[in-house]
Structure 1
Amino acid sequence: MSSEDDLQLAREASAFYLKFSESVLKETPGHLKLAESVSAGFTQYAYAFVAFDAEKIDTKNPKVAAQMRERAARLYARAHRHAMVALERSHPGFGDALRKPDTKNPLQLTKTQVPLAYWAAASLGGWISMSKDAPDLVADLPLSMRLAELAWQTNPTYGQGALASLMGTLEAAKVGGSRPKAQAYFDQAIALSQGKEAGPLVAKAEGVALPAEDRKQFEQLLQQALAISQAHRSLQNEVMRERAQWLLSSVDELF
């Protein structure tokens, strides 16, 4: 589906694909690549087709938007569960080691585990962002950061900048986070994407320019994202194109 640039077609096809893949995964729970695909699919579906839709209608219909955020939270939770189960199967005791780091025997990932850790981190971050009224869950943000950091330690270039962009987003979101550090992650993500991915530019606009109240940089980054999404058609870039356009249309309310 990643090469599909028709968002409506992707939306219609994704539900069947996810349910089918999930049912196959239940029969082969130790299949890491399939677990990665299922976790990625639920995370991307929640982000592109549920959480974003909730944002767009929040001011006009907050009740429906809240219901959509609850659904997005459930989808993110599902994605996170699949990734964590696979990590636990490939590394018994992984969950306990994640929550209670042992400095004498630090947790390390293999390269084959990095994608699962990435999607576990991204889905948990998304789940938390949809559940701001659940303090116990919000308190798990450091776990999302820990998962991303573990992936970073093994393969910082993962996903052509996707992991670096996630690191920037998490750094910007955490209490006491460093804006320069977040910007450095985003800049690395942009460099790794080699001008082919719009996501890191949108992430930098929201994670750095928006909180800094730098409208000029915000608009420049989003315009660059639009240009990339037009030149390099893919599902991810089409999602980012829609988000960039919506953010630009909302710029007067944001600044």
Structure 2
Amino acid sequence: MCLRRKLRCLALSASALLLLSACSPRQYLLRQASDELASQAQATEEDLGLAKDAGAFYLKLSEALLRQDPGNAKLAESVAGGFTQYAYAFLACEADRIEARNPAEAQALRERAARMYARAQRHALAMLEQQTPGLSAALEAAGSAKSSNPPLRLKPEQVGLAYWAAAAWGGQISLSKDSPETVAQLPAALRLAQLAYAAQADYGAGALASLMGMFEASRPGGSAVTALPYFDQAIAFAGPQAGPALLAKAEGHALPAQDRAGFEALLRQAIAATRGRNDLPSQVARERAQWLLSQAADLF
């Protein structure tokens, strides 16, 4: 085969691949940028103030890329996780800290956090719905007696999306007590968390098990006692990364059970477990544990 013919064949093959993948050069560059942003979402930052400032830019940029690349599940998971963590770490936790001295500003922060949680939930649930058409309706029906659909199941690669959707959903519900419509979505959020837990109980180094504990402690019919096995499981899954799980047990079990000694012991363990760790969950857990420890007298 002559060189000209070989080059022509290669050109035709390349064109066919582009057509088959529906991937233009622009789309390819978008996907590369999207994947890079998604991979950077887990980067550590030792300065929480800088992490907060950079987080706002990252969220806007990654969300814009997701609109251009709506089928990118990896990026959708990263965006949902980013909005959820931002809402909790920099808005909801800050609202708790300033409540006593500025209740109006605390309420404004909680309302903003609720909107961020809702945004995260929409991104994650939209991707899950894209992957599994009808999932949203099935989740809604799962919370009612009229459900006659076959059992729902998630694939292992969907667990991250489901975790962030359920976590953001739970966060939004917890901050929307004055919205009966939002609170009424708790069974659907719980069902999604249960599906993720059934698919991979140890997801997120105990994060999913902690979320199950929080749902169990807050759902109708649940209690701090029935939530306890989930929190203990989360700590076991987390191993040396147990700081956030210890904090979750303190807030989700010891505090509602009014066990001050256990509460303070868990907070001290969380502080010790996160010492020297610069990932965002560990830093936030350490700061919140220290603050809660200083508030113990007012909480019991």
Normalization by structure 2: what TM-score? 0.83
Deviations 1:47-66 (A, max 9, x none): 00011111111121111111
User: Are 1:253 and 2:253 counterparts?
Assistant: no
The 3 A distance-change label for structure 1 pair 104 and 129 is closer
Name the counterpart of 1:203.
248
Q: 1:55 aligns with which of 85, 93, 96?
A: 96
Name the counterpart of 2:105.
64
Deviations 1:141-174 (A, max 9, x none): 1111111000011111111111000000110111
- Report how far residue 212 of structure 1 moved: 1.0
Q: SS of the residue aligned with 1:127?
A: helix
The residue type paired with residue 225 of structure 2 is: P
The residue type paired with residue 187 of structure 1 is: D
Within a 5 Å distance, the mapping from 1:13-92 to structure 2 comes to 13-92=54-133
Question: Does the 8 A contact of 1:30 with 1:90 survive in 2?
Answer: no
Deviations 1:47-93 (A, max 9, x none): 00011111111121111111111111110000000011101101111
Which structure's CA Rg is the greater one? 2
Name the counterpart of 2:286.
241
Question: Does the 8 A contact of 2:96 with 2:106 survive in 1?
Answer: yes
Name the counterpart of 1:11.
52
- Report how far residue 107 of structure 1 moved: 1.1
- Report how far residue 104 of structure 1 moved: 5.2
Name the counterpart of 2:269.
224
User: Are 1:129 and 2:174 counterparts?
Assistant: yes
Q: SS of the residue aligned with 1:158?
A: coil
Unmatched 5+ stretches in structure 1 = none
Within a 5 Å distance, the mapping from 1:89-108 to structure 2 comes to 89-101=130-142, 102-103=147-148, 105-108=150-153
Question: Does the 8 A contact of 1:110 with 1:154 survive in 2?
Answer: yes
The count of corresponding residues between Structure 1 and Structure 2 is 255
Distance in 2 between residues matched to 1:48 and 1:190, nearest whole Å: 20
Compare 230-239 and 9-18 and name the one that shifted more. 230-239
Of structures 1 and 2, the one scoring higher in RCO (CA 8 A, sep 6+) is 1
Distance in 2 between residues matched to 1:5 and 1:142, nearest whole Å: 37
Distance in 2 between residues matched to 1:26 and 1:207, nearest whole Å: 36
Question: Does the 8 A contact of 2:277 with 2:283 survive in 1?
Answer: no
Question: Does the 8 A contact of 1:161 with 1:200 survive in 2?
Answer: yes
Distance in 1 between residues matched to 2:181 and 2:189, nearest whole Å: 14
- Report how far residue 105 of structure 1 moved: 1.3
Name the counterpart of 2:165.
120
Q: 1:191 aligns with which of 236, 248, 256?
A: 236
Deviations 1:9-32 (A, max 9, x none): 100100110000000000111111
Distance in 2 between residues matched to 1:218 and 1:195, nearest whole Å: 20
The residue type paired with residue 122 of structure 2 is: R
Question: Does the 8 A contact of 2:205 with 2:241 survive in 1?
Answer: no
RMSD: 1.2
Runs of 4+ in 1 over 2 A off after TM superposition: 101-104, 178-181
Normalization by structure 1: what TM-score? 0.97
Distance in 2 between residues matched to 1:244 and 1:157, nearest whole Å: 23
Question: Does the 8 A contact of 2:128 with 2:161 survive in 1?
Answer: yes
Distance in 1 between residues matched to 2:148 and 2:295, nearest whole Å: 46
Question: Does the 8 A contact of 1:6 with 1:235 survive in 2?
Answer: no
The residue type paired with residue 162 of structure 2 is: A
